[in-house]
């Protein structure tokens, strides 16, 4: 059933009723929900207040198979027969008792509908708007903002689910429609953050595209962001992307930006028992709201360059080492993340997935006829790391692999690995979107955001 068809049926059910005393029908003309802007909360009119439940004679038969509630309260009666007609034609106190129970069921049903708003009409969805679908993802098939896979028959939409939006000054809350969709229409130009409420304790956000602590920090007016890892956040045209991110966020929230990235560092450099972690990262973590990690690329690069003598055939041997190396990277990252969470358990941990460098002109020239092998090796390596990271509790992923999949990656690089000026802007924008960010402007960001939740047992855990 389509979204608008479902909404029409729900509206019809709630606003059509008959008067028991006279047999005449009084229709409630209009039921509407207010547009949701940054200064107005969602207001869905309770249509049941327009008529007295005890005066209800009949409710039109509305198919309810696709909706979360039973929409046919007078079970077993033809649509042209009212409950009072049925009582006239049958005898016994049991029938009257059954009717009273049916009326009670209607009252209970009306109370339940208070938690599921009517879908707005097409006219009410004024542009620009932030919108999407909230759903259960029991098999964790989604793993980033760009990797959403709502599987019919397996995944389940969440109706009546709270979704919030803030601009740092005020916060509004809406609820998803019966088809799981939400919308914040008619937004003014500016920056916002969207946050779907976690359905249950320990539930994972399998789409890894929202950051609860960041949302709270924006509401509080101040956010501390610590970035660490390899040279991507620091090397190349200045300012680097962490500074670009702070500049991007400045109209929304005051930012304390700390960049601890070290050129050439690998995952082993940042292990909890090492000097980088103990002397630089750990002292900077208290009070931090968001920790951004760019790490693992040098582990792979050193394997590529360290043993390479210029013979492209060596790439076959190097590629054969990748699975074992990827396993080591993942283990190291999980140990580092666990140590971070011991210091700042509420902080959002953001991992940046590298783009597919095999798409660049440099790598195509470098690998020659073996570029397909390099492409497969990087795709498998970054894909496996992304899947592992997305399954960790509380992780947010910046999926640069998928974000740039259909773009010319050379535009964002100043050399084979490091960002150009355009790249620093693009990385900052993608981090903002992954954190739940929405930008309403001539260059909008993050307008459509699906949010998937999954049980913790479908992912990995950090030991």
CA–CA separation, 134 and 181 (whole Å): 6
Question: Would 155 be classed as within a structural domain?
Answer: yes
Encode the chain in three state secondary structure.
CCHHHHHHHHHHHHHEEEECCCCCEEECCCCCECCCCCCCCCCECCHHHHCCHHHECCCCCCCCCCCCCCCCCCCCCCCCCCHHHHHHHCCCHHHHHHHHHHHHHHHHHHHHHCCCCCCCCCCCCCCCCEEEEEEECCCCCCCECCECCCCCCCCEECCCCEEEEECCCCEEEEECCCCCEEEECCCCCEEEEEEECCCCCCCEECCCCCCHHHHHHHHHCEEEEEEEECCCCCCCCCCCHHHHHHHHHCCCCEEEEEECCCCCCCHHHHCCCCHHHHHHHHHHCCCCCEEEEECCHHHHHHHHHHCCCCCCCHHHHHHHHHHHHHHHHHHHHHHHHHHHHHHCCCCEEEEEECCCHHHCHHHHHHHHHHHHHHHHHHHHHHHHHHHHHHCCCCEEEEEHHHHCCCCCHHHHECCCCCECHHHHHHHHHHHHHHCCEEEECCCCECCECCEEEECHHHCCCCC
The answer to the question of residue 91 being in a domain is: yes
Query: Are the C-beta atoms of 392 and 462 separated by less than 8 Å?
Result: yes
Choose one of 113, 139, 157: the last residue of a domain.
113
Q: What is the pLDDT of residue 327?
A: 93
Confidence of residue 127 (pLDDT cuts 50, 70, 90): confident
Least confident of 28-42, 100-114, 139-153, 367-381: 28-42
- Look at residues 351, 321, 348, 331 and name the one whose alpha carbon lies nearest to residue 268: 331
124 domain-assigned: no
Best CA proximity match to 144, nearest among 234, 204, 190: 204
* Domain assignment of residue 396, given as a range: 130-458
Structure tokens at 213: 């602590």
Whether residue 125 lies inside any domain: the answer is no
pLDDT score of 446 more than 90: yes
Are 339 and 368 in a shared domain?
Answer: yes
pTM over 0.85: no
Domain identity same for 145 and 109: no
Q: Which residue has the higher pLDDT, 377 or 336?
A: 336
Based on the fold, state whether residues 177 and 55 are members of the same structural domain: no
Q: With respect to residue 123, please indicate whether it lies within any of the assigned structural domains.
A: no
Is there a contact between 113 and 368 (Cβ–Cβ < 8 Å)? Answer: no
Same domain, 145 and 75: no
Q: CA torsion angle for 6, 10, 12, 18 (degrees, to 10)? A: 150
Contact yes or no for 337/462 (Cβ under 8 A): yes
Statement to judge: residues 213 and 352 lie in one domain? yes
**Confidence at residue 232, expressed as pLDDT on a 0 to 100 scale:** 97
Q: Which of 156, 204, 119, 164 is nearest to 449 (CA)?
A: 164
Residue 35 domain-assigned (yes or no): yes
Question: Last residue of some domain: 49, 80, 113?
Answer: 113
As for how many domains the chain has, the answer is 2
375 and 431 belong to one structural domain: yes
Q: Please give the residue that has the higher pLDDT: either 302 or 257.
A: 257
- Say yes or no: 94 and 183 in one domain: no
Q: What is the pLDDT of residues 372-416, one digit of tens each?
A: 888 888 899 898 999 889 888 889 999 999 999 999 999 999 998
Q: What's the confidence (pLDDT) of residue 263?
A: 95
Between these two residues, 157 and 126, which has the higher pLDDT value? 157
Give the pLDDT score at 196: 94
Q: Which residues contact 72 (CB under 8 A, 6 or more apart)?
A: 59, 61, 62, 64
Q: Which carries the bigger pLDDT value, residue 350 or residue 312? A: 350
* pLDDT confidence band for 458 (50 / 70 / 90): low
69 & 174 share domain:
no
Residue closest to 187 by CA, chosen among 404, 453, 437:
437
Task: Tell me: do 135 and 105 sit in the same domain.
Answer: no
Does residue 52 lie within any of the structural domains?
yes
pLDDT at 274 (0 to 100):
93
Q: For residue 119, is it within any domain?
A: no
* 35 has a pLDDT exceeding 80: no
Q: Please say if the pLDDT value at position 88 is more than 70.
A: no
Indicate the average pLDDT of the chain. Answer: 77
DSSP-assigned beta bridge partners for residue 22: none
Query: What local confidence, expressed as pLDDT, does residue 204 receive?
Result: 78
Measured CA distances, 189 to 128, 205, 445 (Å): 9, 28, 11
- The last residue of a domain, from among 83, 113, 143: 113
Average pLDDT over residues 309-326: 76
d(CA 44, CA 166): 20
Same domain, 68 and 160: no
In a shared domain, residues 17 and 166: no
CATH number of residue 315's parent domain: 3.40.50.1110
> What mean pLDDT comes out for the span 181-208?
89
| 272 and 141 in a common domain | yes
Output the furthest CA–CA distance in the chain (Å, rounded).
97
């Amino acid at each position: 059933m389509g979204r608008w068809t479902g909404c029409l049926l729900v509206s019809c059910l709630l606003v059509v009723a008959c008067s028991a005393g006279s047999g005449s029908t009084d229709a409630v003309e209009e039921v509407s929900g207010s547009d949701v802007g940054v200064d107005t909360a969602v207001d869905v009119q309770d249509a049941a207040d327009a008529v007295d439940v005890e005066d209800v004679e009949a409710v039109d038969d509305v198919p309810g198979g696709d909706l979360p509630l039973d929409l046919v309260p007078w079970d077993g009666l033809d649509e042209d027969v009212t409950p009072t007609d049925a009582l006239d034609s049958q005898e016994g106190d049991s029938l009257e008792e059954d009717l009273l129970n049916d009326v009670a069921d209607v009252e209970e049903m009306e109370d339940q509908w208070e938690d599921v708003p009517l879908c707005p009409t097409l006219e009410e969805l004024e542009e620009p708007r932030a919108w999407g679908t909230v759903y259960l993802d029991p098999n964790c098939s989604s793993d980033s903002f760009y990797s959403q896979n709502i599987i019919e028959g397996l995944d389940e939409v969440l109706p009546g689910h709270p979704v919030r939006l803030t601009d740092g000054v005020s916060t509004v809350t809406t609820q998803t429609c019966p088809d799981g969709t939400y919308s914040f229409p008619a937004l003014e130009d500016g920056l916002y953050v969207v946050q779907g409420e976690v359905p249950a304790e320990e539930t994972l956000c399998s789409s890894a595209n929202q950051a609860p602590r960041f949302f709270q920090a924006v509401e509080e007016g101040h956010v501390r962001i610590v970035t660490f890892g390899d040279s991507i956040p620091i090397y190349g045209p200045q300012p680097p992307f962490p500074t670009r991110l702070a500049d991007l966020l400045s109209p929304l929230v005051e930012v304390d930006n700390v960049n601890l990235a070290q050129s050439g560092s690998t995952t082993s450099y940042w292990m909890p028992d090492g000097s980088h972690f103990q002397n630089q990262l750990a002292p900077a973590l208290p009070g931090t709201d968001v920790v951004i990690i760019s790490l693992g690329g040098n582990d792979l690069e050193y394997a590529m360059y360290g043993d390479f003598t210029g013979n492209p055939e060596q790439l076959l041997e190097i590629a054969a080492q990748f699975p074992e190396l990827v396993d080591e990277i993942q283990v190291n990252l999980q140990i580092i993340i666990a140590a971070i969470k011991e210091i700042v358990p509420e902080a959002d941990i953001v991992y940046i997935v590298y783009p597919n460098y095999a798409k660049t002109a440099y790598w195509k020239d470098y690998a020659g006829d073996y570029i397909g092998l390099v492409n497969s090796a990087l795709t498998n390596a970054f894909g496996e790391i992304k899947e592992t990271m997305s399954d960790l509790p509380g992780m947010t992923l910046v999926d640069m692999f998928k974000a740039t999949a259909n773009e010319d990656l050379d535009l964002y690089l100043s050399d084979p690995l490091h960002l150009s000026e355009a790249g620093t802007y693009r990385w900052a924008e993608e981090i903002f979107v992954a954190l739940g960010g929405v930008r309403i402007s001539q260059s909008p960001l993050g307008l459509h955001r699906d949010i998937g939740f999954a049980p913790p047992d479908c992912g990995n855990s950090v030991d």
